[in-house]
Chain A
Amino acid sequence: MAGSGTAHMRPDADPVLSVDQMVVEFPVGRRQVVHAVSGMNIDLLPGETLGILGESGCGKSSAGRAIMQEPSPTKGSVRLQGTELTGLRSADLRRKRARMQMIMQDPVSSLNPRRKVHALVAEGLKIWGFDGDDLDTAIRETLVAVGLDPDAVWDRRPHELSGGQCQRVCIARALMMNPDVLICDEPVSALDVSVQAQILNLLERTKQNYDLSMIFIAHDVSVVKNISDRVMVLYLGKTCEVLPSNDMHVRAVHPYSRTLIASIPGGEEIASTDDPVVGDLAAEKPQSAGVTELPSPLNPPSGCRFRTRCPLATDLCAAEEPELREIATGHFVACHHVAVDGAGPAAAAGAAAAGADPASPGDPAVGVA
């Protein structure tokens, strides 16, 4: 797994955002390098939501920031509506990049504590020189659109609002820029359970009302599944699997995807039935319980990066990096042991899941395209 390849790209489509062979590396002391993202390919179609799923340290946040050029990726290209963003002069980048906005994890930290709500929301337009009476009307409209009462919050400062309200202000601020692409980096993980649902619903509604394309980065499988059309599973900077969100909890076949799904409550029952991968993982317990730690991104394993934790790993996995291959319509996996023809041990589950729904009406990615 943890493979490379471009099989999941849709060359015929006209993506609003495309990321090509993006590599993000950070130098750390003594000439070592953190390999945060190693060769990522994304094409985001208009109106589509791509979920990026992975644990902390898998490079999903680095990827989001590199797409925003904060900082620019080490290698590779990021094109927003056909414009290459990497290597743009800062003045041009400022202008182009404003079409892409980001919602961050910590809503309180994302808002300047000294400014009032109306100034926070107006900031984007003020930067570009808009001002006057229209501005107040626009702020009011946007605040209403994100579910805030303009009169109640107008003169509040962030610390006078709850976390959920702060996140709404962040969304309003991003919407004021009239973006085409919204990148959400764990937008609900700092929020309370009951508030998460409010924000997820709001993002879904906003996406439709404002014709947005969205990249939604999170670690929670259920949350990602709920909001995405297409899901990309990331492990140590490499793509494991790309699949439609529809029924992803039964369709996902990559051993790492299965592990993630089995880790969440309720995922166990779904996973345990005739699932050789999770079955193997379960058999290994409790011995394996202590050793399934993420390898260091300073020195990632050779070949498939998941092999150190993978119950299916063989010598082939260490020697050769698996490439993304299509195993069903819109479903791509980078694993040597998942085969379309059913040769691999995990293939039964994969083929069964894929075959169970041959009409595949629930392929939103394709549908939107």
Chain B
Amino acid sequence: MFMPDNSVNRPRTLATGAALLVAGIALTAFGWSTPALVLAVKALLFLLGLAVTYQGLSRLLLGIRGKRTDLLFNLAMIWLVGIVLAAILAPVLPLGEHNNVAATLYEPINMSPQLLTDHPLGTNNQGLDLLSRSIYGARTSLVISLLAIAIGTVVGGSIGVIAGYFRKGTDSIIGIFTNALLAVPPLILLIALSTFLTPSTRNLAFALSLLSIPGMVRLARANTIAFAQREFVMAARLMGATRFRIMLRELVPNVVLPVFSMAVVMISVLIVAEASLSFLGLGIQQPDPTWGNMVAEGEGGAMEDYPHIVLVPGTFLFLTVFAFNLLGEKAQQRWDTRSAKL
């Protein structure tokens, strides 16, 4: 009854895809491993190589599967899975030294990234391995932001459902608190908190959760109000369900999906917020690495001379945030428009 659209010329797509892929990988590897060139040129070659690799890969996939795949999304997921696995397994991976300065006395300092060396991503001014520091940094960043988002989702979500279901007085009081929280600039709030909280993982997660709570309250409240007007809620009341049961059994299962997809998007905001705090020296303290305090090492002229010190943790941060955003977008498409079915 219908034909698959624009029939793909498979052999040709496959051939160009493979050629681009090989060229791209070669270019990337050369840019990364060559000791001969200045860093700027190396970085340029590296990025160019990545772009060509990406093109090659997407063509290959199109040729093999016969339909378009969301390659960017798949790559982002591979990155996320990779970084999470690496973060979990960091202590058992054969990584360089990440925080013990005493052990790196004989290591080269400020070494620029070279693929086939002991330090594929280079070292910092104390000879600590940047790959190792980035992965241990991921550990801290991810633990803090996931913990913060978990607190934010549970607390904010519950408050939102309560406000949305009871409305009236409860809603106004909760509204005042959330608006007050939103009115304080987040960074100032965090700085204020850091004056009396010692910077530990737990305290940072607690402080950052305050950033996510107002948004969660609003989202959960709006969704609760929408669902509470649906007739199934009235049907439950007519059967004799208590208010608690209605919130727990009828409303929460419906509100949870949009709240979760929002949480995924918010993780990236929290990762950035955590990095900003650490950058300002208010987060986890040196020599323990986080992406924020690693970027801060570029201060005082180091960035001009050794840009990789900033670029390496910056890239980790960028890619992770980008990947979480893509995931969040997909989640919202999927879960916020559940009713749109055909």
| CB contact between B250 and one of A98, A100, A112 (< 8 Å): that residue | A112
B182 within 8 Å of A by Cβ? no
Chain A positions within 8 Å of B253 at CB level: 112, 114-115
Given the known interface contacts A112-B250, A113-B254, the answer about A70 and B237 at a Cβ–Cβ threshold of 8 Å is yes
Given the known interface contacts A68-B238, A102-B238, the answer about A109 and B341 at a Cβ–Cβ threshold of 8 Å is no
| CB contact between B239 and one of A105, A106, A113, A127 (< 8 Å): that residue | A127
Chain B, range 285-342, C-beta contacts under 8 Å to A: 338-339, 341
A127 touches B245 (CB 8 A): yes
B240 touches A110 (CB 8 A): no
Count: A-B pairs, CB below 8 Å: 63
A123 touches B239 (CB 8 A): yes
Chain A positions within 8 Å of B231 at CB level: 104-106, 109-110
A112 touches B254 (CB 8 A): yes
Residue of A nearest to B236 (CB): A123
In angstroms, Cα B194 to Cα A137, docked, is 60
Given the known interface contacts A98-B240, A127-B241, the answer about A110 and B235 at a Cβ–Cβ threshold of 8 Å is yes
Chain A, range 102-136, C-beta contacts under 8 Å to B: 102, 104-106, 109-115, 123-124, 127-128
A102 touches B240 (CB 8 A): no
Chain B, range 116-154, C-beta contacts under 8 Å to A: none
| CB contact between B235 and one of A97, A159, A170 (< 8 Å): that residue | A170
Chain B, interface residues (CB within 8 Å), range: 20 to 34
Chain B positions within 8 Å of A177 at CB level: 239
Chain B positions within 8 Å of A104 at CB level: 231, 234-235
A173 touches B254 (CB 8 A): no
Residue of B nearest to A170 (CB): B235
A89 within 8 Å of B by Cβ? no
A161 → B minimal CB distance (Å): 12
A112 touches B239 (CB 8 A): no
B73 within 8 Å of A by Cβ? no
B230 → A minimal CB distance (Å): 5
A94 within 8 Å of B by Cβ? yes
In angstroms, Cα B339 to Cα A173, docked, is 22
Which of B231, B232, B241, B242 neighbours the largest number of chain A CB atoms within 10 Å of its CB? B232
Chain B positions within 8 Å of A102 at CB level: 234-235, 238
A160-201 CB mask vs B (1 if < 8 Å, else 0) is 000000000010010001000000000000000000000000
Residue of A nearest to B232 (CB): A112
Chain B, range 208-256, C-beta contacts under 8 Å to A: 230-232, 234-242, 245, 249-250, 253-254
A101 touches B232 (CB 8 A): no
B168 → A minimal CB distance (Å): 13
Chain B, range 232-283, C-beta contacts under 8 Å to A: 232, 234-242, 245, 249-250, 253-254
A127 touches B254 (CB 8 A): no
A159 touches B240 (CB 8 A): no
| CB contact between B240 and one of A113, A114, A115, A127 (< 8 Å): that residue | A127
Chain A positions within 8 Å of B234 at CB level: 70, 102, 104
Chain A positions within 8 Å of B339 at CB level: 113, 159
Chain B positions within 8 Å of A100 at CB level: 238
Chain A, range 73-115, C-beta contacts under 8 Å to B: 94-95, 97-98, 100-102, 104-106, 109-115
Chain B positions within 8 Å of A111 at CB level: 232, 235
B240 touches A101 (CB 8 A): no
B233 → A minimal CB distance (Å): 8
Residue of B nearest to A68 (CB): B238
In angstroms, Cα B236 to Cα A123, docked, is 8
B237 touches A95 (CB 8 A): no
A95 touches B240 (CB 8 A): yes
In angstroms, Cα B238 to Cα A170, docked, is 12
B223 → A minimal CB distance (Å): 13
A97 touches B232 (CB 8 A): no
A20 → B minimal CB distance (Å): 22
A219-251 CB mask vs B (1 if < 8 Å, else 0) is 000000000000000000000000000000000
| CB contact between A97 and one of B240, B245, B249, B250 (< 8 Å): that residue | B240
A109 touches B238 (CB 8 A): no
A344 → B minimal CB distance (Å): 43
In angstroms, Cα B239 to Cα A100, docked, is 9
B236 touches A113 (CB 8 A): no
Residue of A nearest to B243 (CB): A90
B236 → A minimal CB distance (Å): 7
Chain B positions within 8 Å of A95 at CB level: 240
Residue of B nearest to A107 (CB): B231
In angstroms, Cα B253 to Cα A115, docked, is 9
B342 → A minimal CB distance (Å): 11
Chain B positions within 8 Å of A123 at CB level: 236, 239, 241, 249
Residue of A nearest to B239 (CB): A124
In angstroms, Cα B235 to Cα A112, docked, is 10
B250 → A minimal CB distance (Å): 6
B254 touches A114 (CB 8 A): yes
B248 → A minimal CB distance (Å): 12
In angstroms, Cα B235 to Cα A103, docked, is 8
A109 touches B237 (CB 8 A): no
Residue of B nearest to A160 (CB): B341
A109 touches B230 (CB 8 A): yes
B227 → A minimal CB distance (Å): 9
Residue of B nearest to A110 (CB): B231
B128 → A minimal CB distance (Å): 50
Given the known interface contacts A112-B253, A112-B254, the answer about A98 and B235 at a Cβ–Cβ threshold of 8 Å is no
A97 touches B230 (CB 8 A): no
List 7 additional A-B contacts (Cβ < 8 Å) besides A98-B240, A112-B253, A127-B239: A101-B239, A104-B235, A109-B232, A113-B338, A123-B249, A124-B240, A170-B235
11 interchain pairs (CB within 8 A)?
A101-B238, A104-B231, A104-B234, A110-B235, A112-B253, A113-B338, A123-B241, A127-B240, A127-B245, A128-B240, A159-B341
Q: Which 3 A-B residue pairs are closest in the complex by CB-CB distance?
A: A114-B253, A124-B239, A110-B231
